[in-house]
Amino acid sequence: MRCFWFSLVALLSVSACEEKKEPRAKGKSDAEAPTGAAAVDPSLAKAVAGAAKPGDPAAPSAATDGPPESGVFEPGRADAELKRGEQPKVVVGDAGQPPRRKLFSPLLPGWKETGQVELSLRAARQMMPPVTASVAFEALKPKAGEEALGVPVTGKVSAILVGELEGQVIPAELKTEVAKLKGGQIQFRVLGNGAAVDHRYELPKGADPNLNTLLRALSEALASAALVFPSEEVGVGATWLVTSREFFSGADTLGFQMLKLESLSEQTATVSISTRRYAATTALTLAGLPPGNHRLDQFQFVAGGSVLVRPGSLFPYSGEVNQQLSAALVPEGNDQQRMGIQSALVSKVAVGKAPPG
């Protein structure tokens, strides 16, 4: 029973799904946009770049001629857009309607907040019961000489509970093992432009190594919900693109996240999120894969959602993000076969209390 439930936690379904390589249908995606959120158009980077000011160093490059249909860049092509270790780029496509406000607020050492993240995970047709983690965040003072690296933030899991799943009896052992994630840590850095980067996680002592994937899902849920605001003033209808290079869902990825300011008041803002990620290399590292140097042939990652935030806040006080991954691997030594991978994660993130009124 334990192995069965931990196979669900792994969020991975791998099978030899094609005996023979078939040509990929042009213009079709193996992963559809999550319900309620349009995926970023593949030409979005160029469109936003055209709307940016001429000569703006943050504007995306046109050198790559757009993302690849397969979702996997040729060697070195992703570097033309953004190299590993480079700061994410923020480009405003539309400043929105007046009145406009400056929503950006730098994160300072000493910031503390608590929150909850509810995770609903699916691998192929298998569902795992929802898991709710309570997390205590703290922004630390950078070490001497590391100020330019950003403000380090630690999120410590203070409690984690397994919920119910209709039609399923949840084993008590699963609840006991998942509870051992208490004390686990999520770590990242927040740069001067507000971008959260270098996401890491660390299991607590005594936790089953199989829980690594669940902690990774928690880390990725927070990364997907973290917001970057433009440095300039924006109003309702404003759109901005965040281009980032980060390790996500087992791959070195180049991500394009479109954010749109849907509503704005003195204390709250509603922001819609639409994201696509593309593999920068042909390597994929996920729990559950058979041994061998398999080659990533297709990688389709889309995410979308809507969140409510205090203007300038890193995390929403209420919001939901839905992400889906569909990929195909070529097994080592067998170019005519494909191993299919499908997973989905719905995360509800609530950090801090809702503003009064």
Mean pLDDT of 18-43: 44
Task: Tell me the pLDDT band of 240, cut-offs 50, 70 and 90.
Answer: very high
Average pLDDT on 140-160 reads 96
Could you identify the residue written with the tokens 């297709």?
Answer: 298
DSSP single-letter state for residue 211: G
pLDDT at 58: 44
Phi and psi at residue 312, in whole multiples of 5°?
A: 90, -10
pLDDT at position 46 is: 52
Class of domain 29-351: mainly beta
pLDDT band at 7 (very low <50, low <70, confident <90, very high): very low
Strand partners, 1: none
CB 216 within 8 A of CB 224: no
Give the span between the Cα atoms of 1 and 33, in whole angstroms. 33
Q: What was the pLDDT predicted at 207?
A: 87
Predicted pLDDT of residue 171 = 87
Mean pLDDT estimate for the chain: 84
d(CA 222, CA 240): 20
Average pLDDT, integer, range 85-112: 95
Q: CB under 8 Å to 25, separation ≥6 — which residues?
A: none
Where do the domains of the chain lie?
29-351
Q: Does the pLDDT value for residue 121 go beyond 60?
A: yes
Q: What is the pLDDT of residues 250-276, one digit of tens each?
A: 999 999 999 999 999 999 999 999 999
> Do residues 235 and 98 lie in contact, with contact meaning Cβ atoms separated by under 8 Å?
yes
Tokens of 181: 């994630």
